[in-house]
Amino acid sequence: MKQNSTIEKSNLQLINYYNQRGALYNKFKSKIIHNPCLDRTLVSFQANKETQFSWFKYREGFSEKLVKYLIETLKLKPGALLDPFSGVGTSLFTASDLNWQTIGIELLPVGVFAIEAKINVRTVDVEALSLIINQIKTINFSDYYDPQYAFNHLAITKGAFSESQEVELVGYISYCNNHIQNISIRNILLFAAFCILEDISYTRKDGQYLRWDSRSSRSRGKKEFCKGEILLFKEAIYKKLSKILSDLSNEDAVQLDLFNINSKKTTLKEVNLQLHQGTCLEILPTIANNSIDFVITSPPYVNRYDYTRTYAL
């Protein structure tokens, strides 16, 4: 009886859900237009894989192509654009390059750090960056290990790296902080390490959790999970730095020799961007009335994902 009652209750909930969905659809039916241009590749992370400066795998982000499409299709004149859930700043940078003043709000430090690193990239001396990366090639990072830069692991990230790789990672962070004087270059080098954490770890983001490779000391689940190749720190960091340099030098990444680069002076548009870290519930009321011309955003799924867990690493 109890099982039948549970099934009946579940069925009623489904019926109620479909009724509400149908009512919502009928309410806006006359306003809905099917646009074949807006396919899945245009609104997902997939579309950002090959775009410039897509160094951090932020799965929740939408594509710069979508932002461009919306602005250019609607033929809007440049003004003030707001993204209250900025993520890693796709809408902010894309609109800024189209001469918009952009205002971003982001709660997670992950997103704020990524945005600030991209701002640094706009002003960095590429030749100086190339020279420093060339010097880094000779460094044994484990020699620079300093416990003050060691990871303060959370319970959900403990054991994410092999011991030897974590020593190299911490040594690299220590070296950057203590021996790279140029702040912009230092931030870019640290951002490169930030971008490869999943590549060198036993984990992979899966929904709002970290899925653990069977080679880790804490593999869970009925079925063994193998994420594939786990890169060594040096291999991963040079690969990422090569990608960054190739993007900044407008060179083909396949043809680029990281440590034999004839860097070109790349002129990037200055970013007209205001960034606020915090909750939009508190920051939005402080923005002047009638000061925003366009809003583009991808809000989080309410009560569905805990993004602090997703990006805990």
pLDDT of residue 13: 85
User: What does the alpha-carbon distance between residue 241 and residue 130 come to, in Å, rounded to a whole number?
Assistant: 9
pLDDT at 52: 56
**120/146: higher pLDDT:** 146
d(CA 136, CA 268): 26
Confidence of residue 257 (pLDDT cuts 50, 70, 90): very low
- Flag the least confident range among 37-46, 168-177, 183-192: 37-46
Contacts of 158 by beta carbon, 8 Å cutoff, 6+ apart: 218
pLDDT above 90 coverage of the chain, percent: 51
**Which pLDDT band holds residue 265 (cuts at 50, 70, 90)?**
very low
Q: Cα(first)–Cα(last) distance of the chain, in Å?
A: 46
Q: How far is CA 139 from CA 92, 171, 172, 267, 289, in A?
A: 36, 10, 9, 31, 53
Give the pLDDT mean for 198-222. 83
User: Model confidence over 21-73: pLDDT tens digits?
Assistant: 999 999 999 999 888 888 877 766 555 555 556 788 877 777 888 899 999 99
pTM: predicted TM-score of the whole model, two decimal places: 0.79
| Chain segment 268-292, per-residue pLDDT in tens | 667 889 999 999 999 999 999 999 9
The reported pLDDT for the residue numbered 254 is: 35
Q: How far apart are CA 243 and CA 237, in angstroms?
A: 10
Tell me what the pLDDT averaged over the chain comes to.
85
Mean pLDDT of 144-154: 93
- Both tokens assigned to 130: 């190339």
Longest CA–CA span in the chain (Å) reads: 76
Q: If 0-12 CB within 10 Å is exposed, 13-18 middle and 19+ buried, where does residue 70 land?
A: middle
What's the pLDDT score for residue 264? 45
236 versus 154: the higher-pLDDT residue is 236
Q: Kindly state the average pLDDT of the residues 96-106.
A: 95
Task: Select, from the ranges 2-11, 205-214, 215-224, 260-269, the one with the highest average predicted confidence (pLDDT).
Answer: 205-214
User: Does residue 9 surpass a pLDDT of 80?
Assistant: no
Of 193 and 268, more confident: 193
pLDDT tops 60 at residue 262: no
For residues 12-40, one letter each, b for 16 or more C-beta atoms within 10 angstroms of the residue's C-beta and e for the rest, the string is eeeeeeeeeeeeeeeeeeeeeeeeeeeee
Give yes or no for residue 124 having a pLDDT over 50: yes
User: 76: alpha, beta or left, given left = phi > 0 and alpha = psi -120 to 50?
Assistant: beta
Given a cut of 90, is residue 96 above it in pLDDT?
yes
From the list 84, 85, 83, 88, the residue with the least C-alpha distance to 58 is 88
| Pairing between β-strand 80-83 and β-strand 273-277 as defined by DSSP bridges | unpaired
167/142 Cα distance (integer angstroms): 6
